[in-house]
């Protein structure tokens, strides 16, 4: 399984899907987050593999 | 996805620009875009002293970093507002000080509101019965202190980290209510209208918020992720979320909305009728900053009211 972390929440998704799909399935917008894997930014077309841990960084702040 | 410039693995894809870049080329591209914006809107020159308002967040620290890398004379100003919720002010100050430690030669001014005026911003808001409008009071305090430090330090302009999403959210809100006065004034550069009121510039006005966050992460800038506790549920965040829904379906919508607005104003395709002439300014009897109000400026009236009441 693939672990997704966003703010103080964690959940799992099946391997084989793209980061974009994982973001959308969580009800989030690609435009509003930056995905990080192994400490590095990744693009939304990256296919997730079993054991991957992806952290989604929220980019929106009050101005 | 591969970097368009070198073919290496891309770290970010910007659909609105149809551009994917690797880390090295993204950082180069980002810095170049900001420099173009500074020059395009004639914000300031290499010889000018610039004061960067830093909050500890991704935008302001990234802006300071970019300006230093481009060789501008950019000093920082951190205003400690005394926001205790989630230790917000303490953590944000730590981030700013860490940034300074990692950037030799970076000069930072720190203004502590409680030390200077006896009350933190939340305390001022509570005691002046503005609890529900703390963000407006906070803005008033920050503007006053930015102008004061800029004037005392002889700075040519104050640079803030407002990004495209900030600007578009403001534009959207003002358009929804047709606030023509605000629409007339919204621009990448707000000229100085008085020697004690500094010129304000927004070098990130064309950069998406996602891009400024990516810049901070890729450049290794440690910034405060947590939102100001008073901004949670704010209208600006609601507008940003709505606009991101639109951007998701139609990439480039935010940039197009903002740039076409600026272009229309520049070409005088739109103008705002019925604008009042600039009101007459006179110096505040307490701080000397120009004001339209009788005797004291809005900032000093808040401070005086508290003191006169002996609170």
State the complex-level ipTM: 0.96
Same domain, B184 and B290: no
Same domain, B145 and B224: yes
Buried b (16+ CB within 10 A) or exposed e, B179-205: ebeebeebbbbbebeeebbbbbbbbbb
Same domain, B160 and B291: no
**pLDDT level of residue B311 (50, 70, 90 thresholds):** very low
Same domain, B221 and B295: no
Give me the count of residues in chain B: 311
Within a domain: B242: no
Within a domain: A10: yes
Which two structure tokens, joined as six digits, stand for A2? 């693939």
Could you give the number of structural domains in chain B? 2
Cβ <8 Å between B213 and A40: no
DSSP run (H or E) holding B200: strand B199-201
Same domain, B68 and B212: yes
Q: How far is CA B198 from CA A17, B149, B155, B203, B290, in A?
A: 51, 9, 8, 16, 11
- Average pLDDT over every residue of B238-267: 96
- Domain that includes residue A30, residue range: 2-58
Please write the tens of the pLDDT for every residue from B199-222: 999 999 999 999 999 999 999 999
Same domain, B209 and B289: no
Which two structure tokens, joined as six digits, stand for B160? 């803030």
Same domain, B58 and B192: yes
Same domain, B199 and B56: yes
Indicate the pairing of strand B73-80 with strand B49-54.
parallel
Same domain, B142 and B76: yes
Please write the tens of the pLDDT for every residue from A23-46: 999 999 999 999 999 999 999 999
The answer for A 2-61 residues in CB contact with B (under 8 A) is: 29-32, 34, 36, 40-46, 57-61
Residue to test with chain A: of B165, B220, B255, most A Cβ within 10 A: B165
Indicate the pairing of strand A9-13 with strand A2-6.
antiparallel
How far is the C-alpha of B38 from the C-alpha of A58, rounded, in Å?
27
Q: Report the CATH number at residue B219.
A: 3.40.50.620
Within a domain: A63: no
Check: CB of residue B163 under 8 Å from CB of residue B240.
Answer: no
Which two structure tokens, joined as six digits, stand for B94? 């730590």
Boundary-marking domain end, from B196, B211, B228: B228
Boundary-marking domain end, from B211, B228, B245: B228
Query: In the β-sheet with B49-54, what is the strand arrangement from edge to edge?
Result: B108-112, B73-80, B49-54, B157-159, B199-201, B189-190
Same domain, B289 and B194: no
Within a domain: A19: yes
- A40 has which bridge partners? A37
Residues of B with CB under 8 A from a CB of A: 1, 10-13, 20, 23, 57-59, 162-163, 165-166, 169-170, 208-210, 212-214, 217-218, 225, 227-228, 231-232, 234, 236-237, 240-241, 244-245, 247-248
| pLDDT-above-70 percentage for chain B | 95
Please write the tens of the pLDDT for every residue from B141-180: 999 999 999 999 999 999 999 999 999 999 999 999 999 9
Check: CB of residue B108 under 8 Å from CB of residue B101.
Answer: no
Residue B226 predicted with pLDDT over 80: yes
- Domain that includes residue B39, residue range: 35-228
Q: Report the CATH number at residue A17.
A: 3.10.20.30
Could you give the number of structural domains in chain A? 1
Please write the tens of the pLDDT for every residue from B259-308: 999 999 999 998 886 555 667 889 999 999 999 888 899 999 988 774 55
Within a domain: B273: no
Cα diameter, chain A: 38
Q: B176 Cβ partners below 8 Å, 6+ apart?
A: none
Cβ <8 Å between A63 and B11: no
Q: How far is CA B177 from CA B11, B101, B253, in A?
A: 39, 44, 20
Closest-approach residue (CA) in chain A for B244: A31
Burial grade of B61 (CB within 10 A; 0-12, 13-18, 19 or more): buried
How far is the C-alpha of B68 from the C-alpha of B73, rounded, in Å?
7
Same domain, B75 and B144: yes
Same domain, B165 and B298: no
Boundary-marking domain end, from B202, B228, B254: B228
């Amino acid at each position: 399984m693939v672990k997704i972390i966003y703010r103080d929440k964690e959940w799992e998704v099946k391997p084989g899907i793209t980061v974009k799909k994982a973001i959308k399935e969580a009800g989030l917008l690609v435009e509003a987050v930056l995905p990080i894997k192994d400490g590095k930014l990744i693009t939304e077309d990256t296919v997730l593999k079993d054991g991957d841990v992806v952290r989604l960084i929220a980019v929106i702040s009050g101005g | 996805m591969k970097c368009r410039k070198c073919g290496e693995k891309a770290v970010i894809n910007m659909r609105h620009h149809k551009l994917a870049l690797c880390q090295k080329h993204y950082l180069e591209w980002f810095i170049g875009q900001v420099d173009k914006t500074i020059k395009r809107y004639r914000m300031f020159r290499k010889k000018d002293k610039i004061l960067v308002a830093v909050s500890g967040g991704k935008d302001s620290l990234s802006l300071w970093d970019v300006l230093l890398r481009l060789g501008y004379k950019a000093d920082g100003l951190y205003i400690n507002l005394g926001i205790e919720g989630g230790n917000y002010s303490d953590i944000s100050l730590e981030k700013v000080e860490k940034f300074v430690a990692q950037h030799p030669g970076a000069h930072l001014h720190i203004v502590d509101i409680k030390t200077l005026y006896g009350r933190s911003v939340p305390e001022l808001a509570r005691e002046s019965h503005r609890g529900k409008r703390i963000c407006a009071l906070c803005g008033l305090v920050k503007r006053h202190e930015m102008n004061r430090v800029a004037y005392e330090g002889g700075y040519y302009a104050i640079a803030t980290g407002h990004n495209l999403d900030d600007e578009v959210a403001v534009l959207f809100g003002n358009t929804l209510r047709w606030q023509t006065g605000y629409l007339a004034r919204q621009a990448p550069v707000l000229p100085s209208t008085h020697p004690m009121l500094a010129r304000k510039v927004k070098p990130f006005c064309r950069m998406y918020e996602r891009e400024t966050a990516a810049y901070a992460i890729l450049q290794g800038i440690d910034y405060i992720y947590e939102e100001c506790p008073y901004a949670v549920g704010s209208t600006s965040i609601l507008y940003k979320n709505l606009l991101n829904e639109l951007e998701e379906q139609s990439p480039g919508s935010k940039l197009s909305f903002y740039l076409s607005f600026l272009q229309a104003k520049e070409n005088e395709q739109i103008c705002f009728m019925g604008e009042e002439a600039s009101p007459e300014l006179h110096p505040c009897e307490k701080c000397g900053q120009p004001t339209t109000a009788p005797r004291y400026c809005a900032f000093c009236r808040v401070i005086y009211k508290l003191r006169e009441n002996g609170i």
